[in-house]
Amino acid sequence: MGCSSCSTNKDGVPKGCKSNGNCGTGTCGSGNKLAVFDWLSNMTLPTGEAQFNIYEVRFKNGRKHFYKNTDKKHNVVMGDVVAVEGNPGHDIGVVSLAGELVKVQMKKRKIALDSPDVKKIYRKASQKDIDVWNTARDRELETQRKGREIISRLGLKMKLSDVEFQGDGNKATFYYTADDRVDFRQLIRDLASAFSIRVEMKQVGMRQEAARLGGIGSCGRELCCSTWLTDFRKVNTAAARYQQLSLNPLKLAGQCGKLKCCLNFELDSYLDALSHFPKQDVVLKTEKGEAIFVKMDIFKKLIWYTYKEEKFKWYKLSLEQVTEIIELNENDELGSPLEDYESEIEEETKVDFENVVGQDSLTRFDTPKKPRRNRNRNRKKNANQKKSGNNPSNKAKKGNQKNTPKQGGQNNKSNKPSGQNQNKKNNNKQNQKQGQAPKQNSSPSNKKPNNQRKNKRRNSGNNNNAQKNKQ
């Protein structure tokens, strides 16, 4: 078996699960998309009933078909690599489902038991068949690259998304997407002459292309269409409107370029909840004036209204309060102002996140860290201060002790006026007599003696100028 998802060797032995050609789980990665678990495998059939002889066979990218085992000599089970009927030649695939559940899958896909689409299983694949199949699969990437070059040279408006070779290597199917109808007759001739194979062109939609190629969605998980979604239902923008989503095509579109399939998943629950809400065009008549609809929170059952004349203020009401006002309006009565209803709503306190399991904060890398140089300097300073005893906390304690008054009396130093202040008061009195404005005492009381000398020089100069003016 050549298992691409398990990174198979050339000998056919997977590197990952070491199951020697058979996948133990049956759901190994993207190679077995849309797998079905056979929950009837352990049950024995009733006496006299033969085993169902149609099997489900999986090919590249989850493509599955049903094949009939006409030869009873070949005992086929799940996981076997088989050679099946092709068109023309034969193809190689892996049996993905057997037993009674195949009937359920055929009924789901609306395929009859005697349908001509159900072809034959020739035999179990031999080692030679597997080697030819692996060499054909190795040619797919190079064929896809050269095929895109040929398409661009011909100027065709189409996108070649995938190439799948048949098991015998004589035929290749080219999957493409295009907005309009494409005339690819010349393209088929060029491809057949370039690769010497039979060419089959198959157009797929955007959703089918995304399902075949796979990928990761905006939710962080693998695409639904490539894992479990089997049918593609129509998605409208009305689904986004019912769910109160903004009609932004960048947020609503998936990797296929169409609206996301998950918009339909919760649509039914939203429609059930909206059936209890009044219509948005209903106008509430209150004593203060008429109020119109603004927005709603469906699952919290809250609706915001605003007055027509005062649209800058929104009022939050519950669904019960709105229905009460509507009933009053139907009886030709006016409801109370919206402020009264809003004050009755009790807001629930939100429980903040509690770090009970020792989880780190998401913003722990946002706070800038100090450089290592500053850290080393701070450590050295603290060490020196401890050695010398010049701890800043001790200094603060000493300063507090100096400022505290002695027991048995008041602090006389703070009460006695200093000689410098007396000199300044005398100078201010002389200046008032001479008609000058007194200078404010902006300097502190405990200045150095140099500052006192400067003040004396200034005062003596002012006195001399005053005497000259009198003469």
Higher pLDDT, 199 or 458: 199
pLDDT above 80 (res 346): no
pLDDT above 50 (res 276): yes
Q: Which of 5-14, 199-208, 394-403, 455-464 has the highest mean pLDDT?
A: 199-208
pLDDT above 80 (res 121): yes
* Residue 448 pLDDT class (50, 70, 90 cuts): very low
Looking at residue 398, what is its pLDDT? 47
Return mean pLDDT, the chain: 77
Amino acid letter at 47? T
Q: List domains and CATH numbers for the chain.
A: 29-126 (no CATH), 139-210 (3.30.300), 233-275 (no CATH), 278-344 (no CATH)
* Residue 7 pLDDT class (50, 70, 90 cuts): low
Looking at residue 186, what is its pLDDT? 93
Looking at residue 361, what is its pLDDT? 66
Looking at residue 439, what is its pLDDT? 46
Lowest mean pLDDT among 69-78, 98-107, 231-240, 358-367: 358-367
pLDDT above 90 (res 38): no
What are the beta bridge partners of residue 55?
Answer: 67
pLDDT per residue over 59-107, tens digit each? Answer: 988 788 999 998 877 788 888 999 999 888 899 999 988 888 899 889 9
Looking at residue 384, what is its pLDDT? 76
**DSSP string covering 204-269, please?**
--HHHHHHHH--B-TTSSB-GGGTT--------HHHHHHTT----HHHHB-TTSSB-GGGGTSHHH
Instruction: Give residues with Cβ within 8 angstroms of 387, minimum separation 6.
Output: none
Question: What mean pLDDT do residues 304-332 have?
Answer: 91
Looking at residue 322, what is its pLDDT? 93
Looking at residue 467, what is its pLDDT? 53
Pair 210, 218: CB distance under 8 Å: no
Looking at residue 357, what is its pLDDT? 57
* Residue 39 pLDDT class (50, 70, 90 cuts): confident
* Residue 440 pLDDT class (50, 70, 90 cuts): very low
**CA–CA separation, 415 and 15 (whole Å):** 95
Token pair of 291, please?
């109020």
Question: What mean pLDDT do residues 441-445 have?
Answer: 44
* Residue 139 pLDDT class (50, 70, 90 cuts): very high
